[in-house]
Amino acid sequence: MKHFFASLTAVTWKDLAVEWRSREMLSAMLIFALLVLFIFNFALELDAVTRANVTAGVLWVTFTFAGTLGLNRSMAMEKDRGCLDGLLLAPVDRVAIYCGKALANLLLMLVVAAIVLPVYSILYNINLFQPGLVLVIVLGSIGYTAVGTLLASMAVQARTRDILLPILLFPVVLPLLVAAVKSSSALLQGYPLGESSGWINLLIVYDLIFIAVSLMVFDYVIEE
Amino acid sequence: MGMFKRLPIGLLLLTILSVVLLIAALGTVFLYAPVEATMGLVQKVFYFHVAHAWAGMLSFIVAAITGAVYLKMRDLRWDVASLASVELGMVLMLIAIVSGSIWAHAAWNTWWTWDPRLTTVTIMELLYAAYLMLRQGIAEPERRARFGAIYVIVAVLTVPLTFFSIRFYRTIHPVIIGDSDPSAAGAFDMTPRMLHTFFFSLITFSVIFATLFWYRLRLGLLAKRVSEKRMELED
């Protein structure tokens, strides 16, 4: 068990160190997220009345789109430079590799969220920093990166890998997005957290199911 | 009749049974079942609509089970079976969506609504279309089978979650089996004759599913043999 966590943190640490030195994923995700926000601003005419209804949706679409960029890159990086073979040669549990990658992706998504939220707050002069919303974003990101890391590790091994990940991922994360948008929206309209407990439960169930499935099947993804 | 000569006898019998059952089912729908009082003739879509949706669900479940068996046994024939049931399921579900749409146009006066069942089933079509795209992108048969099996398992798990997530929205789809919301538009109580017809349709389409599955499986196994022979020739 101790060995497992040591290899897990080693993989996460490796990913974060690479990212810290190149900053290619984070900068791409951030600029992309901000561009999506600006496009939404003009596409939806985000005046005060519209904003009240669509803020949650805009935020989650932004996170989802930016997230696919990061997930794709994080696995393609391993594949391109033969790093995956190196990782597989290392005498560690393969599930630890999955957990390490997923954890690094999760941290990256949370960093993007931590930058997008204040920017949105400043642009539209509303306060998005509520503990409830942070909880929803953390729960949503956990499920998203759990299933996203699994699907990305399959997508990068396919010929059509650049276009495949969103197609594989979006129909699978749809229930997660519905729950996340609905609970975020209720929180932003000033309802207490208990109001959306059904949605929060759905998020937790989703997270647990897909973490469990990913742990069970990841061995089969990278077995050669 | 030369094309039937090479069929396995079981498949031949199943084919004949399917045709007989389908004719009988059409007979019960149009001659035996009464015409529904408020909706009239269009209600008759219901029998085959639900039967297609049922057979479609059945094939997606079969796809997930055969996929899981493939991961355990590593015999590519299970992968052929999994692909066969996904393809069948997509066709059956598409027919269910279209027939439902025809009924909805008469009963709800719209072709489409964002109801949990409709939406879930359509998302399912997209899920399995993604499955086919994933397979298309991988040339190596063993890896294609592995990834396909993983995706088909992930896909089947999202279906109930998608359904429940959309169910929180108000629904107008009638629940004929189980507790019905009386405000659902187009709900009706089934008379015994309607119930007989309904179950007869379900049985008919389960048999038709089995027949089509067998054909598709046979085709897949033959295609696999052809590609293996070709590999042998190239070597």
* pLDDT tens digits for range B4-63: 668 889 999 999 999 999 999 999 999 998 888 777 888 888 899 999 999 999 999 999
The CA angle A152-A148-B161, to the nearest 5 degrees, is 135
Residues of chain A with pLDDT > 90: what percent? 53
Number of domains in chain B: 1
The answer to whether residue B216 is domain-embedded is yes
Which chain B residues contact residue A209 at CB under 8 A?
Answer: 157, 161
The answer to whether residue B220 is domain-embedded is yes
Q: Domain range for residue B211?
A: 9-175+194-228
Nearest to A160 among B127, B137, B146 (CB): B137
- Which residue is listed with tokens 């009706």? B188
Amino acid code (one letter) for A85: D
Distance between CA B104 and CA B164 in Å, rounded?
Answer: 22
Helices (H), chain B: 2-5, 9-27, 45-73, 76-107, 116-136, 141-167, 192-234
B174 CA: distance to closest CA in chain A (Å): 22
Nearest to B134 among A168, A174, A217 (CB): A168
Q: What is the mean pLDDT of residues B80-91?
A: 96
Check residue A186 and report its DSSP letter. Answer: H
Dihedral angle, C-alpha B121, B127, B129, B132, nearest 10 °: -140
| Beta-carbon separation of A159 and B138 below 8 A | yes
Q: State chain B's mean pLDDT as an integer.
A: 88
CA of A48: how far to CAs of A54, B40, B164, in Å? 10, 48, 31
Nearest to A92 by CA among A11, A16, A211, A213: A11
Q: How confident is the model at residue B171 (pLDDT cuts 50, 70, 90)?
A: very low
Distance between CA B68 and CA B183 in Å, rounded?
Answer: 41
pLDDT of the residue at A133: 92
| Beta-carbon separation of A171 and B130 below 8 A | yes
Distance between CA A114 and CA A129 in Å, rounded?
Answer: 10
pLDDT of the residue at B89: 96
Distance between CA A113 and CA A164 in Å, rounded?
Answer: 24
Crossing angle of helices A197-221/A94-124, nearest 10°? 140
The answer to whether residue B117 is domain-embedded is yes
Helices (H), A44-130: 48-80, 83-89, 94-124
Partners of residue B40 on adjacent β-strands = B36
The answer to whether residue B94 is domain-embedded is yes
CA of B44: how far to CAs of A172, B57, B136, in Å? 34, 21, 39
Please state whether the predicted TM-score (pTM) of the whole model is above 0.80.
yes
Supply the Cα-derived Rg of chain B in whole angstroms: 20
Does any CB of chain A come closer than 8 Å to the CB of residue B68? no
The three-state secondary structure class of A190 is coil
Does any CB of chain A come closer than 8 Å to the CB of residue B139? yes
Check residue A193 and report its DSSP letter. Answer: G
Interface test with A, best of B114, B140, B147 (most A CBs within 10 A): B147
pLDDT of the residue at B167: 77
Task: Tokens for B186, please give them.
Answer: 């187009």
Q: Note the ipTM here.
A: 0.90
| Beta-carbon separation of B165 and A202 below 8 A | yes
Dihedral angle, C-alpha B112, A171, A159, B64, nearest 10 °: -100
By the 8 A CB rule, do A92 and A208 touch? no
pLDDT higher than 80, residue B68 = yes
Q: What is the mean pLDDT of residues B103-132?
A: 89
Nearest to A54 by CA among A40, A75, A68: A40
CA atoms within 13 A on the CB side of A65: 18
pLDDT higher than 80, residue B215 = yes
Task: Tokens for A173, please give them.
Answer: 């994360």
More confident site: A2 or A139: A139
By the 8 A CB rule, do B129 and B143 touch? no
The answer to whether residue B185 is domain-embedded is no
Q: What is the mean pLDDT of residues B189-211?
A: 91
Task: Tokens for A119, please give them.
Answer: 């920017």
Amino acid code (one letter) for A114: A
Q: State chain A's mean pLDDT as an integer.
A: 90
pLDDT of the residue at B2: 60
The answer to whether residue B59 is domain-embedded is yes
By the 8 A CB rule, do B51 and B201 touch? yes
Which chain B residues contact residue A222 at CB under 8 A?
Answer: none
The answer to whether residue B207 is domain-embedded is yes
Task: Tokens for B105, please give them.
Answer: 């146009």
Q: How confident is the model at residue B185 (pLDDT cuts 50, 70, 90)?
A: low
CA atoms within 13 A on the CB side of A144: 32
Task: Tokens for A33, please give them.
Answer: 């997220």
pLDDT of the residue at B175: 60
Name the residue in chain B with its Cα closest to that of A164. Answer: B134
Distance between CA A118 and CA A95 in Å, rounded?
Answer: 35
Task: Tokens for A146, please give them.
Answer: 């759990």
Cβ neighbours, 10 Å, residue A77:
18
pLDDT of the residue at A50: 78
pLDDT of the residue at B178: 53
The answer to whether residue B33 is domain-embedded is yes
The three-state secondary structure class of B36 is strand
pLDDT of the residue at B69: 97
Q: What is the mean pLDDT of residues B165-177?
A: 62
Q: What is the mean pLDDT of residues A83-91?
A: 83
A182-195 pLDDT, tens digit each: 899 888 888 888 87
Q: What is the mean pLDDT of residues A25-33?
A: 90
pLDDT of the residue at B67: 96
pLDDT of the residue at B176: 58
